[in-house]
Amino acid sequence: MRVSRVSVIVAGAVVAVGVVVAVALRSGSDEGAPPAVNSVAGNFRACLVRSSAGSPVSTAVWEALRKAAGGRVNAQTFVAPPGPPGVPYLNGVVGVGCDVVVVAEPGFVPVVEKVAAKAQRQRFLVVGGGSAAGNVEVVADAAAVSGWIGGHAGG
């Protein structure tokens, strides 16, 4: 089958009209354009380790972390198995890549101290008691956690 010269000209004209229409539509207003997407990959990452029962203090700390989030903090919670978490469990949380691991239950403090001694590049925030060390800070309550997060997450 032979393609005629007229067919080639018509096809070329259809393509040219399509390009002109596409350019005209793109140069119109941005109404209806999708909203800009905010990547959370670079946000400060705060990880709360709590018991399955969830103490009142850890619940208040979780709320403080969520409120501090405000678009610049990724707040995550890790529920430990029953009883105080063992060193392997807390090492697993450290391996997730949190900027700070927050612990708000007194039974977890000895484990944090053991893990923190070996995980020197990981920051830990203990709420309500414990001993501060190079990479372990101690704050009094959920309000203090909110202030700490705000000071370290650039807010």
pLDDT band at residue 95 using 50, 70 and 90 as cut-offs: very high
Per cent of the chain over pLDDT 70 is: 70
pLDDT attached to residue 129: 85
Kindly state whether residue 74 falls inside one of the protein's structural domains. Answer: yes
pLDDT at 40 exceeding the cut of 80: no
Kindly state whether residue 2 falls inside one of the protein's structural domains. Answer: no
Greater pLDDT, 67 or 135? 135
pTM: 0.71
pLDDT attached to residue 24: 61
pLDDT at 12 exceeding the cut of 70: no
* Of residues 38, 79, 50, the one with CA closest to residue 145: 50
Number of domains in the chain: 1
What's the average model confidence in pLDDT over 54-80?
Answer: 85
Distances (CA, A) of 94 to 23, 32, 36, 113, 127: 51, 43, 32, 13, 18
The domain of 134 spans 44-152
Kindly state whether residue 133 falls inside one of the protein's structural domains. Answer: yes
Q: In this structure, what token pair is assigned to residue 116?
A: 């923190």
pLDDT at 68 exceeding the cut of 80: no
Greater pLDDT, 130 or 28? 130
Q: In this structure, what token pair is assigned to residue 11?
A: 């096809």
pLDDT band at residue 70 using 50, 70 and 90 as cut-offs: low
pLDDT at 8 exceeding the cut of 70: no
How high does pLDDT run on average in the chain?
81
> Can you give the CATH number for the domain in which 53 is found?
3.40.50.2300
- How many distinct helices (H) and strands (E) make up the chain? 5, 5
Kindly state whether residue 36 falls inside one of the protein's structural domains. Answer: no
pLDDT attached to residue 14: 66
Which residue do the tokens 């399955």 mark?
A: 52
pLDDT attached to residue 67: 83
pLDDT attached to residue 1: 52
pLDDT at 28 exceeding the cut of 60: no
Kindly state whether residue 61 falls inside one of the protein's structural domains. Answer: yes
Residue type, 147: G
